[in-house]
Structure 1
Amino acid sequence: MNNSLTRLIERFHEISLLTDVREILAWDEAVIMPPGAGERRNQSMAELFDCDPKTLVRS
């Protein structure tokens, strides 16, 4: 497989993993977040949601 295609596939995999993490955190917040963890979770979620996977593509 050509090197550029391999790098592109790797980047899409990384973006997919970040999306998975955001979805898991959102689910955890809705279902089983421990008491008192709200402020820290809000900060973590804000950081991840500000990190738009489309902007992570490197040249």
Structure 2
Amino acid sequence: MTDNLDIAMFLVLAAALLRGYPVTFTLAGVATIFAGLGAMLGAFDTALLGALSQRLFG
């Protein structure tokens, strides 16, 4: 299941953009949803989300 998360993320992103949602909210929402899904499936380490703010601002 985790092998196809990137393809699923692209398809969900394309579908959301084609439905007319704003790009900013679509990118943020899809990324957040798939980060949670990846964390539940064990494909994504949630410690990376904690380090994101330090990487951006520090």
Q: Give TM class, smaller chain.
A: 0.3 to 0.5
Pick 1 or 2: higher relative contact order, CA cutoff 8 A, min separation 6: 1
TM-score (norm 1): 0.40
TM-score (norm 2): 0.40
Bigger Rg, structure 1 or 2: 1
